[in-house]
Amino acid sequence: MTQLINDLGQPIAEPVSGEFPRPVPPRTPIDGSYCRIVPLDIDAHCTALFDAYAEDIENRIWTYLPYGPFPDAPAYRDWMVATCTDDETIFYTILDATGTPVGLAAYLRMKPRMGVIEIGHINYAPRLQRNAAATEAQFLFMKRAFDELGYRRYEWKTDTMNKASIRAGQRLGFLYEGTFRQAQITKGRNRDTAWYSILDHEWPKIEARFEQWLSPENFNDDGSQKTSLRIRTGADPCLVP
Tell me: the pLDDT tens digits for 58-108? 999 999 999 999 999 999 999 999 999 999 999 999 999 999 999 999 999
In 33-158, alpha helices (H):
42-53, 73-83, 132-143
Number of compact structural domains in the chain: 1
How far is 239 from 191, CA to CA, in rounded Å?
A: 15
Instruction: Read off the pLDDT of each residue in 29-45 and give the average, rounded to a whole number.
Output: 98
CATH assignment of the domain containing 152? 3.40.630.30
Residue 123 lies in a domain: yes
Residue 159 lies in a domain: yes
Instruction: Please tell me the predicted confidence (pLDDT) of residue 231.
Output: 78
0.85 surpassed by pTM: yes
Nearest to 176 by CA among 219, 235, 123: 235
Residue 62 lies in a domain: yes
pLDDT band at 19 (very low <50, low <70, confident <90, very high): very high
Instruction: Please tell me the predicted confidence (pLDDT) of residue 233.
Output: 58
Q: Which helix (H) or strand (E) holds 66?
A: none
**How many other C-beta atoms can be found within 10 angstroms of the C-beta atom of residue 9?**
6
SS3 at position 194? strand
Instruction: Please tell me the predicted confidence (pLDDT) of residue 230.
Output: 82
Instruction: Please tell me the predicted confidence (pLDDT) of residue 240.
Output: 43
Instruction: Please tell me the predicted confidence (pLDDT) of residue 136.
Output: 98
How far is 110 from 101, CA to CA, in rounded Å?
A: 25
**How many other C-beta atoms can be found within 10 angstroms of the C-beta atom of residue 40?**
21
Instruction: Please tell me the predicted confidence (pLDDT) of residue 235.
Output: 53
Instruction: Read off the pLDDT of each residue in 25-29 and give the average, rounded to a whole number.
Output: 98
Range of the domain at 228: 22-239
Tell me: the pLDDT tens digits for 185-240? 999 999 999 999 999 999 999 999 999 999 999 999 988 999 999 876 555 555 44
Residue 195 lies in a domain: yes
Residue 9 lies in a domain: no
- Average per-residue pLDDT for the chain: 95
Nearest to 61 by CA among 51, 72, 73, 69: 69
CA 204 to chain centre: 18
Instruction: Please tell me the predicted confidence (pLDDT) of residue 237.
Output: 53
Residue 15 lies in a domain: no
Tell me: the pLDDT tens digits for 146-198? 999 999 999 999 999 999 999 999 999 999 999 999 999 999 999 999 999 99
How far is 172 from 209, CA to CA, in rounded Å?
A: 10
Task: Answer whether residue 53 shows pLDDT above 70.
Answer: yes
How far is 11 from 90, CA to CA, in rounded Å?
A: 38
